[in-house]
Amino acid sequence: MNEKKFLTEQFEANRTHLRRVAYRMLGSMTEADDAVQEVWLRLNRANTDDVGNLGGWLTTVISRVCLDMLRSRKSRREDQLTPQTPEPVAGGDPEHDIVMADSVGAALLVVLERLAPAERLAFVLHDMFAISFDEIALIVDRTPEAARQLASRARRRVQGTDTIPARSLAHQREIVNAFLAASRGGDFNALLAVLDPDVVFRADKAAVQLGAMAEIRGAEAVANTFKGRAQGAVPALVDGVLGLVVKVQGKLHVVLNLTFAGDRITAIEAVAESSRLNALDLVVLRKESGRKE
């Protein structure tokens, strides 16, 4: 009974910290509360006799729970236009929620949504909570150096991202929609309108084996290549940037990485090699303005 009371008191003493970690990881207060509840359940099932630092143990558990939730979310979010919009902070403790809102800007949470789950975890734990890479490595099942690289890559992406990525994403979506419509409709002039004059198309070896040219340069040549095609392509977030994916019988076939500058596409890369496809963070987009494509 005394041990139960001690664990309850220690958990409550760490609850605010756990909630902050979960909210920064997930961007959703509802999911954060679910994660904290899961940690409580695991604490009650665990044998903590040999745990010297219960606060550290709880932080590790909440991190693993959030990582699992992020990976599960990635496999579910097939129908959204933008990365998941963070929920505004609103809960049963107004004073606590004000502190939470002040410490995590909505713009940063939107940017974090563009990171792969392991990158987000490494960045949040190290840069926001000063947790060592040795500890992070155990959570993501990688070496400390690999964990450091995850955080470094995430930091570069956060620092180099527009502070209003949702607006940039919507603009990219307009360009991609125009490209698809022109390609499917065989409209050569409309294709030229969305392609940079010096646009470059490149394909990896696997895509070349499927019939693509290894490299094509210039808007007219690229427009001729895509004229009347792209019938099976659908928009997708490819590592946080708008691109296109082609599936055959439900299996990922080809990904087109797109590079944008202003209102035009400056580069298209066709990726078909399985190892590269498996490494991509993909979210297929199905809707726009509430309508199915």
Q: What is the Cα–Cα distance from 21 to 38, expressed in whole angstroms?
A: 14
Domain edges within the chain: 2-159, 165-292
For residue 40, the model assigns a pLDDT of 94
In this structure, which CATH number among 3.10.450.50, 3.90.600.10, 3.20.20.70, 3.40.120.10 belongs to the domain 165-292? 3.10.450.50
Whole-model pTM: value is 0.48
Same fold, 2-159 and 165-292: no
Burial 166-185 (b: 16+ CB within 10 A, else e): beebeebbebbebbbebbbe
Reported CATH class of domain 2-159? mainly alpha
Separation in Å, CA 173 to CA 222, 238, 291: 20, 12, 14
| The predicted structure's pLDDT at residue 74 | 61
Count helices and strands (H / E) in the chain. Answer: 14, 9
Quote the DSSP letter at residue 127. I
Question: What is the distance between the alpha carbons of residues 293 and 287, in angstroms, rounded to a whole number?
Answer: 6
What DSSP state is assigned to residue 213? -
What pLDDT score was predicted for residue 181? 94
**What pLDDT does 158 receive?**
73
Reported as a single tens digit per residue, the pLDDT across 251-270 is 888 999 888 888 899 989 99
Token pair for 92? 């049963």
- Quote the pLDDT of residue 201: 94
Mark the ranges of the chain whose per-residue pLDDT is less than 70. 1, 74-111, 159-169, 239-240, 281, 286-293
pLDDT of amino acid 24 = 83
